[in-house]
Amino acid sequence: MPAEPTSRRRRHHSKTAQPASALYGNSSSRLLAIPALVLAGLLCWHVFNVGMASAWYFKASNYVDLWIKNEKLFTEHSWQDATTAIDKAIELHPTHPHYLLVKAKINEWGWYGGLMTSQQLEQTENYYRQAIAMRPTWPNAYADYAYYLGVTQFRISESFEILEKARKFGPYMQETSLRTTSIGFSRWIYLNTQQKLQTLHALSLSVANSHSYAKALDIVKVTGKSKLACTYLKASNDSIIKSNSRDFCK
């Protein structure tokens, strides 16, 4: 049988074989794709965890909001449910300051309701400190931490030192003025003159603000300081505060 022409052999070879450079290129592409796929998988997992943490957080936070609006809704079952939810949120996203702050608040509610001992509550301070360390210019965190120190731990001097930071970063925020009013009136007989003046000034800010006015009135009634508040507010030169003082004088 005659030999196949050289030109035909070359054409046949070019159709069936690939250059070494092409094979190497395909292998390199596949190798480069592997870490990219792993990275994408990790990113999806992180996003999923963050989303789940947020869902657990909102469930816990909603409980706190409900208790604030109506203390009768606070029960052992709701507290345990809120605790479980916020613990799962922190487990999935341990460096979120909002989650840590809500955990601290839930613990305080547990202590008020007799579901946590004073010794167990002491661990709550770490949550406040961690939240502040993660977000050092957050006035709400300072105000809530001050309340924890002054009301639950009776560390009044430290409480007012922390309130100074709350006023520094949020002097006109209602959380700052309301917490100052609550701490001051709850511990009124133990305050020095400067602390009392700060408390009364915070009361004025709360009363002048339509969003915090009702809450300030509740604080005054709960702490039994209606007569004191009435006398102070009636003497104000601010027409709005003076007008709103009527509710405090009933």
Q: In this predicted model, what pLDDT tens digit does every residue of 89-109 receive, in sequence order?
A: 999 999 999 999 999 999 999
211: its two tokens: 């969003």
C-alpha to C-alpha distance for 198 and 232, rounded to whole angstroms: 13
Over residues 200-221, the pLDDT tens digits come to: 999 999 999 999 999 999 999 9
Q: Are the CB atoms for 200 and 166 separated by under 8 Å? A: no
Looking at residue 171, what is its pLDDT? Answer: 92
pLDDT score, position 57: 95
Q: What is the pTM of this model?
A: 0.79
Mean pLDDT by 10 residues, the chain (250 residues): 51 52 56 54 57 91 94 95 97 94 97 93 94 97 97 96 97 95 97 97 95 95 95 93 90
